[in-house]
Structure 1
């Protein structure tokens, strides 16, 4: 197989499966982390609203990818500023999430925010 050869149907399906697995892992990680810190983290509701927006089949694919990127950064154990540092630990996460939310603000619907509030209350 040469570098420029097209992918086979089996290879394409394997890449799709891997992408769905990574997406699910990212979403579940963001959901669990946001619920775990819940009321102590001022932007937990925003993270969970983004989670519900990505899960919504009506959300455009472009919006989903922007939010998935921001949520992946949120759940990564290594980032620019370590999350365990008091006060400044989540500042980089806030910056990334704020930029993503600004880009897709109209796609995060009131029902996504309501689901996020319920998830925090149930935690």
Structure 2
């Protein structure tokens, strides 16, 4: 997966696009996360990014980038289908890593606190 493709995926979009993306992410994030948790080495950061993306205090462009990355993550069909157990989330990891690296200073302690609480509350596969 090259940087041009990741750059295209991470376009923040306009307000209407972000609203659609947020609805999709909110409805599909936890089920997808539970399937992928063992394969994602930065689960806490990913969940904190989810809370940052859904936080209305997060700047518009940052929310857009995160929602685009999280939207890609929750899509069942992407460049490498997630049904392929071992490699299915590798493209998602690349997109998410890039997005988090671009906006990491916007993920606040409150987002990590929410992530820690959510991870403690959600039953994840062993």
Q: TM-score, normalising length from structure 2?
A: 0.72
Distance change (3 Å), C-alpha of 1:52 and 1:19 = closer
Q: Which runs of 5+ in 1 are unaligned?
A: 1-14
User: How far off is 1:19 after superposition?
Assistant: 5.7
Residue number in structure 2 paired with 1:75: 74
Distance across 1 between alignment mates of 2:46 and 2:27: 12
Task: Provide Cα deviations, 1:59-108, integer angstroms capped at 9, x if missing partner.
Answer: 10000000000000001111111223233221100000011111101001
Residue number in structure 1 paired with 2:89: 90
Distance across 1 between alignment mates of 2:36 and 2:120: 8
Q: Is the 8 A contact 1:52 1:112 kept in 2?
A: yes
Greater RCO structure (CA 8 Å; 6+ sep): 2
User: How far off is 1:109 after superposition?
Assistant: 1.0
User: How far off is 1:39 after superposition?
Assistant: 4.9
Distance across 1 between alignment mates of 2:61 and 2:54: 13
Task: Provide Cα deviations, 1:14-69, integer angstroms capped at 9, x if missing partner.
Answer: x95x86344222233123422x2375243332221111101222110000000000
Distance across 1 between alignment mates of 2:86 and 2:103: 27
Deviating 4+ runs (over 6 angstroms): none
Q: Which runs of 5+ in 2 are unaligned?
A: 1-14
Residue number in structure 1 paired with 2:100: 101
Residue number in structure 1 paired with 2:26: 27
Matched, 1:115 2:114: yes
Q: TM-score, normalising length from structure 1?
A: 0.74
Q: Is the 8 A contact 1:83 1:90 kept in 2?
A: yes
Residue number in structure 2 paired with 1:37: 35
Q: Which has the larger radius of gyration?
A: 1
